[in-house]
């Protein structure tokens, strides 16, 4: 590769850094108020371009702030396998975003290039796919990213337009594997896998209650229109999509979306009719990489509905059971089939009841990582079949390439038609899931399949275990980076005394568990509490939030 310093300096001069702002590479890239992001996004374009040269592969760059409010925006980089940017590159991305002027930008790049064996391995040409969600600032910021990519000689910026984040990740992965990588290819692959799975459903299986589809909250974001397109292809999927971003429907992520439903435990806007709420409902987040499910349950003695949430933990458990069933059917009859290592990955937010169920009832290994799919994904990739989900509905299923190869080539000498079908089903599952990143559209399809195989209503699914009552709160502090954690974010090491205070509070309630961590996408400290009753979980969360406010210099009134 060859760096053209003049080209870079000229391009960088058009994107001066905002004064007094430090950009941190957070849980999923840079995220801030859109008005100050041009410079960071331009420079993220440079990072993506260099990564493309370094790996000799296509890289993706997505303009989105996912669950954040509409005035925010951000940038996520998809690496060559369609997963998040390799973490070794995060410090470089952060230094570059914070360089003071074009000369510093050039210097940071030169230092980085000279540090590793970049020149030895880098290609002379590269390609970055650029996508954006529906935020109004997206057009401007995508242009900044394009200019960043093109500031590096030999790298082509391919503008893919409005996409969900997982679609862009999928395209990067498909393109690097030499497969069809268009948006249409994405719909075709998912719908093909879905159709095969429904066709291979054992006779007699089906929903106990009449099949009536899902009512889906599109968070007024990009997911709604993409889901409509998918529905146009997958004829067997009945959907009533609301909050699609139309004029009268409201703002992106405002009182709608997966984050709102999961954190607030409230129905999204336009889900008002009591009779409807008992049906199967789902909510996407702003860029459709997360999904949660819910339904309404008549509140005792009241003319109102309680929201019953089926979060990422319930999705994970459903998928684990479905896949385990396929493996059991296969292995019990086809004795020569190699042993398969199935494992799941969760974070500290996982409800204790889900972890217990996975371990004790299903006998599945459970690993714990810090928050952020970038952590969960890599852990899950260690298993032949690795499933990961954050409680917020972000997750997917990974099938190791070697395992997929076995599925493709294995020809059973024993076993019934049913066990052979299990082989084909596992292959079809690999088509429906997005192996790059969590994908709300793909998860919706697989949930439908798994429920049909189990013959379960949403209420049956909900009842596989009972969540321990929990509560999440946010605390605004002067500098959230002063909060330091350890042990997969289950314990705080700084500020001193905070962990001791949390331990004392957790000890005051039955089955108490609580932790705090700085958010990597919002300017807040997150508090999670779990306990034997809802009142105890609420009071534990409040008490811990007050300690955070006191010991970590809270802003405004204590919670
Ligand atoms: C991103 C990450 C998720 C993470 C979430 C919240 O999701 O991809 O893994 O759980 O942020 O992170 P934090 O608690 O650090 O703010 P999204 O959907 O917002 O891109």
Q: How confident is the model at residue 205 (pLDDT cuts 50, 70, 90)?
A: low
Which superfamily does CATH assign the domain made up of 198-303 to?
Alpha-D-Glucose-1,6-Bisphosphate, subunit A, domain 3 (3.40.120.10)
**Ligand 1 centroid vs 520 CA: distance in angstroms?**
7
Q: Which of 66, 137, 191, 457 is catalytic?
A: 66
Q: Looking at per-residue confidence, does 197 or 274 come out higher?
A: 197
**Do 5-162 and 470-551 agree at the fold level?**
no
Check pocket membership of 165 for ligand 1, CB cut-off 6 A. no
Q: What architecture is the 5-162 domain classified under in CATH?
A: 3-Layer(aba) Sandwich (3.40)
Which atom of ligand 1 is nearest to 372's Cα?
9
**Ligand 1 centroid vs 216 CA: distance in angstroms?**
21
Q: What percent of the chain has pLDDT over 70?
A: 97
332-356 pLDDT, tens digit each: 877 778 889 999 999 999 999 999 9
Token output for 68: 């954040």
Q: How confident is the model at residue 123 (pLDDT cuts 50, 70, 90)?
A: confident
39 within 8 A of 102, measured Cβ to Cβ: no
Q: Looking at per-residue confidence, does 23 or 556 come out higher?
A: 23
Please provide the CATH number assigned to the domain covering 470-551: 3.30.310.50
Asked which of 135-149, 151-165, 259-273, 298-312 is least confident by mean pLDDT, the reply is 298-312
ipTM of this complex: 0.95
Q: What architecture is the 313-462 domain classified under in CATH?
A: 3-Layer(aba) Sandwich (3.40)
Which atom of ligand 1 is nearest to 521's Cα?
16
pTM of the model: 0.95
Q: Is 268 annotated as a binding residue?
A: no
The Cα 501–Cα 514 span in angstroms is 11
Q: How confident is the model at residue 208 (pLDDT cuts 50, 70, 90)?
A: very low
> Which whole number is the average pLDDT over 283-302?
92
Protein residue with its CA nearest to atom 5 in ligand 1: 372
Q: How confident is the model at residue 303 (pLDDT cuts 50, 70, 90)?
A: confident
Q: How far is the CA of 434 from the CAs of 168, 333, 519, in angstroms?
A: 11, 29, 25
**Ligand 1 centroid vs 27 CA: distance in angstroms?**
6
The Cα 303–Cα 343 span in angstroms is 43
Token output for 455: 């013959």
* Crossing angle (nearest 10°) for helices 5-13 and 102-115: 140
38-75 pLDDT, tens digit each: 999 999 999 999 999 999 999 999 999 999 999 999 99
- So what's the pLDDT on residue 163? 98
Q: Is 479 annotated as a binding residue?
A: no
- So what's the pLDDT on residue 409? 86
559 within 8 A of 538, measured Cβ to Cβ: no
Q: How confident is the model at residue 498 (pLDDT cuts 50, 70, 90)?
A: very high
Asked which of 163-167, 262-266, 327-331, 482-486 is least confident by mean pLDDT, the reply is 327-331
Check pocket membership of 289 for ligand 1, CB cut-off 6 A. yes
Domain ranges of the chain: 5-162, 198-303, 313-462, 470-551
Catalytic, 66? Answer yes
- At residue 235, does pLDDT exceed 90? no
Average pLDDT, the chain: 93
- So what's the pLDDT on residue 236? 77
Report which of 57, 171, 83 is spatially closest to residue 380, judged by C-alpha positions: 83
Q: Measured at the alpha carbon of residue 111, what is the angle toward residues 90 and 377, in degrees to the nearest 5?
A: 20
Check pocket membership of 60 for ligand 1, CB cut-off 6 A. no
**Ligand 1 centroid vs 314 CA: distance in angstroms?**
18
Residue 202's contacts (CB-CB under 8 Å, 6 or more residues apart) are 418, 421, 453
């Amino acid at each position: 590769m060859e760096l053209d310093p003049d080209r870079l300096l000229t391009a960088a001069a058009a994107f001066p850094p905002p004064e007094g702002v430090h950009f941190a590479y957070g849980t999923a890239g840079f995220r801030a108020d859109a008005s100050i992001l041009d410079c960071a996004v331009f420079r993220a374009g440079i990072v993506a371009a260099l990564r493309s040269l370094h790996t000799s592969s296509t890289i993706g760059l997505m303009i989105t702030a996912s669950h954040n409010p509409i005035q925010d925006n951000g940038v996520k980089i998809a690496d060559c396998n369609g997963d998040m940017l390799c973490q070794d590159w995060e410090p470089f991305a952060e230094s570059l975003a914070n360089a003071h002027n074009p000369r510093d930008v050039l210097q940071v790049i030169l230092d980085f290039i000279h540090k590793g064996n970049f020149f030895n391995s880098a290609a002379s040409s590269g390609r970055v796919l650029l996508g954006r969600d529906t935020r109004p600032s997206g057009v401007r910021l995508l242009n900044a990213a394009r200019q960043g990519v093109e500031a590096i000689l030999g790298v082509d910026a391919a503008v893919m337009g409005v996409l969900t984040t997982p679609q862009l990740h999928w395209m990067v992965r498909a393109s690097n594997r030499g497969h069809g990588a268009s948006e249409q290819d994405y719909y075709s692959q998912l719908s093909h896998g879905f159709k095969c799975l429904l066709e291979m459903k054992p006779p007699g299986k089906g929903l106990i209650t009449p099949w009536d589809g899902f009512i889906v909250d599109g968070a007024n974001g990009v997911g709604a229109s993409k889901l409509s397109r998918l529905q146009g292809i997958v004829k067997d999927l009945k959907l009533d999509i609301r909050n699609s971003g139309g004029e009268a429907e409201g703002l992106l992520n405002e009182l709608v979306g997966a984050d709102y439903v999961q954190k607030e435990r409230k129905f999204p806007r336009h889900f008002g009719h009591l009779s409807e709420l008992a049906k199967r409902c789902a909510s996407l987040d702003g860029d459709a990489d997360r999904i949660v499910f819910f339904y309404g349950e008549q509140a005792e003695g009241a003319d109102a509905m309680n929201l019953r949430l089926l979060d990422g933990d319930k999705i994970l458990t459903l998928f684990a059971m479905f896949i385990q069933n396929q493996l059991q059917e296969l292995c019990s009859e086809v004795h020569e089939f190699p042993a398969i290592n199935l494992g799941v990955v969760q974070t500290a937010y996982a409800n204790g009841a889900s972890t217990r169920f996975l371990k004790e009832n299903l006998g599945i290994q459970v690993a714990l990582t810090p928050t952020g799919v970038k952590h969960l994904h890599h852990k899950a990739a260690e298993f032949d079949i690795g499933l990961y989900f954050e409680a917020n509905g972000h997750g997917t299923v990974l099938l190791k390439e070697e395992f997929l190869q076995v599925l493709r080539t294995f020809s059973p000498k024993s076993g019934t038609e049913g066990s052979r079908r299990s082989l084909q089903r596992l292959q079809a599952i690999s088509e429906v899931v997005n192996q790059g990143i969590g994908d709300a559209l793909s998860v919706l399809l697989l949930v439908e399949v798994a429920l049909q195989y189990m013959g379960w209503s949403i209420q049956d699914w909900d009842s596989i275990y009972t969540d321990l009552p929990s509560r999440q709160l946010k605390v605004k502090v002067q500098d959230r980076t002063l909060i330091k954690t350890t042990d997969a974010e289950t314990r705080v090491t700084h500020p001193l005394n905070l962990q001791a205070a949390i331990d004392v509070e957790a000890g005051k309630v039955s089955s108490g568990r609580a932790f705090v961590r700085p958010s990597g996408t919002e300017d807040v400290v997150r508090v999670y509490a779990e306990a034997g009753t809802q009142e105890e979980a609420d009071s534990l969360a409040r008490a811990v939030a007050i300690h955070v406010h006191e010991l970590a210099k809270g802003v405004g009134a204590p919670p």
